[in-house]
Every structure is written in C-alpha cells, then in structure tokens.
Copies of this chain bind each other. A is one copy, B any other.
Amino acid sequence: MTHTTAANDVYLQIGEAAERTGLTQRTLRYYEEKGLLKRPTRMEGGFRLYSPEDIQRIEAIKQLKELLGFSLADIKEMMDAEDIRLQIRAQWRKDADAAEKAAKIRKAREVTLHQTALLDQKMEQMAAMRNELAQRLENYDRWLREHAADAPASSTKS
C-alpha cells in the first residue's frame, strides 16, 4: 500500500511476479530470453507487466522443471506445443481451412500423446520405487516394535 504501482490491478511487475512464483527476477528474464515466456506487456518506460496468464505459465514452467527435472529446452518444446494449442483455439472461427486445422490438431495430439507416454513411464518407475521404500519402512517399523523393550539401560525418553 505504500507506493506499489497499480495496487488494485492484477498485472504484476517483475519484482512481485518473482515473489509470487518463488523465482528470481533474473530467472524470469532468463526464461523470457530463452523463449519460454513471451515478452510480457510493458509500461511506458519499459517495465514488464505480467498478466495472470503469464504467472500461470511461469508456475507451469516451475513445476515442469523442479518437479519433473526437465531441462529448459525440453520445457520450451512443450510450451511451444501448448502455444500451438492455444493458437488453434484462438483461430477457431477465423480460419476456415478445416484440413489445415485437422493437421495441426493431429500434430498437437501426437505431441500430447508423447508427453503422456513419458509421464506414464516416469510414474511407473516412481511407483516401483515407492513400493521399495514402503517395504523398507515396514521393516524398520517392525524391527523397532519387536525390539522396543530390548534396550538395556538407555534413557527412556526420546
């Protein structure tokens, strides 16, 4: 409330955007530089203004990177596919060439299919891993239960 620019607007300057997404300003500029983010709208003087959609996109990127460990190059591919998707939705009525639309959609479908396959593979492996860990945990717990009273003279607390 002190002197924050456009306090009631939903558009965020880079500082606020960084804070909200948990990234740094440098990172946001870097993503933009690498084509992961489109150039956001600017104020008169050139200050970046991030729309809510921009913020969403940033958080999507963050997830893909931190959660799934994809490289920025990988993510760019995905985002490009996503862009095509949105582009399709935008041009839904304007462009009348149905054949071309079908081609685009098939392309998008293919990419999406590939992504789901990758995801499925990862999830499968993770599930297997999780089972191993769970089993391990059970073993620990069982041992601790069985030997709960065996300790000779250790302090009983903690």
Interface, chain A (partner B; CB < 8 A): 63, 67-70, 85, 98-99, 101-102, 105-106, 108-109, 112-113, 115-116, 119-120, 122-123, 125-127, 129-130, 133-134, 136-137, 140-141, 143-144, 147, 150-152, 154
Contact assessment for B137 and A99 in the assembled complex, using a CB-CB cutoff below 8 Å: no
A70 contact set on B, CB distance < 8 A:
69
Contact assessment for A119 and B112 in the assembled complex, using a CB-CB cutoff below 8 Å: no
A109 to B122, CA, bound (A): 25
18 additional contacts, CB 8 Å, given A68-B69, A102-B144? A63-B125, A63-B129, A67-B122, A69-B69, A98-B151, A99-B152, A102-B154, A105-B140, A105-B143, A105-B144, A109-B140, A112-B137, A112-B140, A119-B129, A119-B130, A120-B130, A122-B126, A123-B123
A140 contact set on B, CB distance < 8 A:
105-106, 108-109, 112
Given A105-B143, A144-B106: A130 touches B123 (CB 8 Å cut-off): yes
Partner of A116, one of B102, B105, B130, B143: B130
Contact assessment for B125 and A67 in the assembled complex, using a CB-CB cutoff below 8 Å: yes
Copies in the complex: 2
A151 contact set on B, CB distance < 8 A:
98-99, 102
A105 contact set on B, CB distance < 8 A:
140, 143-144
* Beta-carbon nearest neighbor of A153 in chain B: B99
Contact assessment for B69 and A109 in the assembled complex, using a CB-CB cutoff below 8 Å: no
A112 contact set on B, CB distance < 8 A:
133, 136-137, 140
* Beta-carbon nearest neighbor of A96 in chain B: B152
